[in-house]
Amino acid sequence: MTFLGNLQGPFLYFALTHPVHTLPAETKALVMTFCDLSDLIGLSYDSHWAQLAAREIRASFLYTLAKFSPDAFAFREMMRVTNTIITGATALHYLLRQPYNWESCEIDLIVCPAYIVDVTRFIMAFPGATRTSEFGLDGVDDYIQNDFGIGSTTTITTTMASFKLVLSSEMSPFHLLAHYWSTHVMNALTADSLVCAYPTLTLQRKGIISYIPMLSEGDDIIDMWKGRGLALCRSRQQL
């Protein structure tokens, strides 16, 4: 059964044709753990599996938020009220349903200008919260801002995670995704939805790097993603 989540066609055929009402609750729950997100979305259209799939999607999202927030429900409500989105590694790993070392992770938040004070105050109320950098530019952000107009960033470190707040230059945060350095990180979690710009490539754990001169094969950031099992290339022809 361990391969079912990776074989969408055969798995969905099994799920949609098997008399689910005859399965014990433990078996149903076990089936959910082997589904990737595309499986769960597919199952949500079937009346026999829809409730289970929707419950798993919600639980997985709240579990993700609980990894870096003392109150997952409050964090989700903050996202909904302020139109804040989660991007970067957190959104990608939720999409792939692939765990990684949360202790060393950085949570990327894109925040609209009208709510940057509210979001900053919200996170600064977390246990052990300290602002480790003021709004400014550094590294890749410096290049992106100068060339594409993306807003500056600030970093807040708490006892649970490090939050990187990216100030959006528009009222909607989504336009920033198109300027990210690779297709595999052009994903976002909102309070109620998931955005994936390149679902086919991303679900295959592949990414096409945008043309940014300062990024090369030897850069630490590329090596980090390759170490996490993603295949990155410069063009579709190299896939």
Domain CATH for 99: 3.30.460.10
Q: Of the candidates 52, 67, 55, 57, which has an alpha carbon nearest to the alpha carbon of residue 37?
A: 57
Q: Are residues 120 and 166 in the same domain?
A: yes
Residue 156, SS3?
Answer: strand
What was the pLDDT predicted at 134?
Answer: 67
What was the pLDDT predicted at 2?
Answer: 33
Neighbours of 13 (CB within 10 A): 11
Give residues with Cβ within 8 angstroms of 162, minimum separation 6: 105, 106, 107, 132, 155, 156
239 residues of the chain, pLDDT tens digit each:
333 334 455 555 555 565 666 677 777 778 787 787 778 888 888 777 788 888 888 888 998 899 899 999 999 999 999 999 999 888 988 888 776 554 456 899 999 888 988 999 999 999 999 988 766 544 444 434 444 445 678 899 999 999 999 888 767 888 888 778 888 989 999 999 989 999 888 888 899 887 665 555 556 777 778 877 888 887 766 66
Structural domain including 96 reads 67-203
CA distance 217 to 219: 6
CA distance 6 to 191: 27
Q: Of the candidates 102, 169, 104, which has an alpha carbon nearest to the alpha carbon of residue 135?
A: 169
Q: Are residues 13 and 95 in the same domain?
A: no
The answer to whether the beta carbons of residues 136 and 153 sit under 8 Å apart is yes
Q: Are residues 125 and 55 in the same domain?
A: no
